[in-house]
Amino acid sequence: MSIASCFFASASLSTISNNNTPELNLNRPSPLPLRLSVTSPPSSSSFTTPLSLHLHHHRRPPTSLFLAFSTPTSSGGGGGDDNYNNNGGSGGGGGGNNNDGDGDGENAGEKNREEALIVLAEAKRSMESLPKDLAAAIKDGRIPGAVLSRYFELEKSGLFKWLMQFGGFKERLLADDLFLAKVLFECGVGIFTKTAAEYDRRRENFFKELEIVFADVVMAIIADFMLVYLPAPTVALRSSFAVHAGPISKFFYNCPDNAFQVALSGTSYSLLQRLGAIARNGAKLFAVGTTSSLVGTAVTNALINARKAVDKSSEGEVENVPILSTSVAYGVYMAVSSNLRYQVLAGVIEQRILEPLLHQHKLILSAICFAVRTGNTYLGSLLWVDYARLIGIQKAHEDEKVLSG
């Protein structure tokens, strides 16, 4: 009878307080993952000696605030903060869907909400002190506690706190705390690597084709930031899309920002959505590449005309760069080559390979990311020169010193 009473009481436990004293929730039982071990008394003991019941609660961090939850903390929806950390702080994209069934999705959402509320209580913060989009994501169960912990860490830096006022930066910094460093790597090294690549392809004609080199570098630097920004993995903080929106708009809105990124607990992406991410980013990068090329070629033509005005002997050596064909060609190049390379770099090489291995060694991780991105930038410059010559918008400087854009 004593044994039956013990197991009946264990079914009504809802939480474990700091002194490990179980409290009863009379409203409904809670499915907290408890491991029960019953230790029987020695054979010499009287049968009236009560059995000892040991309750072990997994992965519940201590908190001074009494919180009663009704969902598991170590299962449901797959992942959790351990899965998040092992994936190097991966983020879900722009509001992905759950393909594991309504029950699993609901369990994952409740689990995420519980973890986030515990982190919030430990930090002695209120929901009102958080940005509206972050608070709404917590209430909806779209982010685990690990994301909120990262937000509190980033908030300690004045620079990061200012950047997180912008939704796009916030989503990317919460998914990858090295995002800003990668932007600086890309833009800072871009000038040197792209110039070196241009010299490697042009050699003795480098200075003879300096105007084209300048145009290539200007176009690349303008686009470098977007090449890091657009394909970067994100944590979904955006609200659901409008109900009256069309199916195509809803489809692309729910695609991840990176086709290869790891989804958060309770979120998954179909193959079609991941392909949609490539198409959507490709369209954006086409616009970015075309616009940056328009600026670059316009500046180049202005320099060429100024050079002709000063040095009359150069009129036969240099010609204006064709603006429209160069701009469209560069837009296509960014939509295809740059898009795919940076999607793989951010989603596969960095998030799925490097970050899980080195997420506790940020300095080493930063150095390797720097080296990989430098190599990718240099490769992109080589491919652009070859591509531009292949389609005929740039030609090598021949012995007769005829330069065609």
Structural domain spans, the chain:
107-165, 244-391
Phi-psi category of 59—alpha, beta or left, where left has phi over 0 and alpha has psi -120 to 50?
left
Alpha-carbon distance of 111 to 15, in angstroms, equals 14
Alpha-carbon distance of 301 to 298, in angstroms, equals 5
Q: What is the pLDDT of residue 190?
A: 77
CB 168 within 8 Å of CB 142: no
* The pair of three-digit structure tokens given for residue 139, joined into one six-digit string: 């209430």
Q: Please classify residue 324 by burial: count the beta carbons closer than 10 Å to its beta carbon, then call 0-12 exposed, 13-18 middle and 19+ buried.
A: exposed
- Non-local (6+) Cβ contacts of 352 within 8 A are 87, 88, 260, 262
Q: Which of 110-124, 203-217, 255-269 comes out lowest in average pLDDT?
A: 203-217
Alpha-carbon distance of 4 to 220, in angstroms, equals 73
Q: Which residues pair with 22 in a beta bridge?
A: 16
3-state secondary structure (DSSP) of residue 404: coil
What sections of 70-209 are H helices per DSSP? 80-86, 102-122, 132-139, 145-155, 158-163, 167-175, 179-202
Q: What is the pLDDT of residue 74?
A: 34
Q: What does the pLDDT look like over 334-362, one tens digit per residue?
A: 999 999 999 999 999 999 999 999 989 99
Q: Is the pLDDT of residue 111 over 50?
A: yes
Cα distances (angstroms) measured from residue 87 to each of 92, 378, 390: 12, 28, 40
Closest CA to 259 of 286, 230, 239: 230
Confidence of residue 105 (pLDDT cuts 50, 70, 90): low
Q: Interior CA angle at 182 toward 176 and 186, to 5°?
A: 155
Q: What is the pLDDT of residue 68?
A: 31
Q: What is the pLDDT of residue 392?
A: 87
Mean pLDDT score, 1-5? 44
User: Which residue do the tokens 């700091």 mark?
Assistant: 18
> Of all residues in the chain, what percent are helix, strand and coil, respectively (each to 5)?
60, 5, 35
Alpha-carbon distance of 259 to 248, in angstroms, equals 17
Q: Is the pLDDT of residue 78 over 50?
A: no
| The length of the chain, given as a count of residues | 405
Closest CA to 2 of 45, 31, 33, 32: 45
Average pLDDT over the chain, rounded to an integer:
74
b/e string for 327-359 if b means 16 or more Cβ within 10 A? bbbbbbbbbebbbebbbbbbbebbbbebbeebb
Alpha-carbon distance of 374 to 170, in angstroms, equals 25
Q: Is the pLDDT of residue 153 over 60?
A: yes
Radius of gyration of the chain (CA): 29
Mean pLDDT score, 212-228? 80
CB 88 within 8 Å of CB 258: no
